Structure 1
Amino acid sequence: MDKVLVEVFIPAANQTFDIFLPLKSKLHEVVLLVANTLTELSQGYYTGTEQTVLCDRHTGEIFNINNTVEELGLKNGSKLMLL
């Protein structure tokens, strides 16, 4: 499979979304796409910026945007947070 299904939590909107992420994409591309999509889906509670980061929801570790989703070890069911 070339995609993983992850759960993305947005604290600003107190909402969670399930999103498919392509394994071969660099995280900086993924963050841009996810931020733009969730800006629309959150009905204005969240607005993505150039400083938007994606991190592990449990540890708070910010992911390296130069790695691919696969290199970061993200799997189906991973819980992330968009800040």
Structure 2
Amino acid sequence: MIINTQDDILTLFKMYMKNTKHTQVDICKALNLKDSGVSRTLKGKNSMTINTLLNYVNAVDGQIVLDIIPKQKDNTDNTSKDQ
């Protein structure tokens, strides 16, 4: 999955949680956090720091694999160089 926004990260994280049958409650218990704060973060209402992301991922027994690559060219541009 290509990640361009915080929403993309949240989508990927929620997919992981669903696939591993982890819940928001698991994060709250592991990190001793209130459900309302975790809920706001997972809905994208709070800006997520890298440390928060790492804490949440660790709380649900996950790990992050990161790769940075050049952006792919967008081939949806209908203009032609020959025109």
Taking structure 2 as the reference length, the TM-score comes to: 0.30
Q: Which structure carries more relative contact order (alpha carbon 8 Å, separation 6+)?
A: 1
Larger gyration radius, structure 1 or structure 2: 2
TM-score, normalization by structure 1: 0.30
Q: Structure 1 or 2: larger helix share?
A: 2
More strand by share: 1
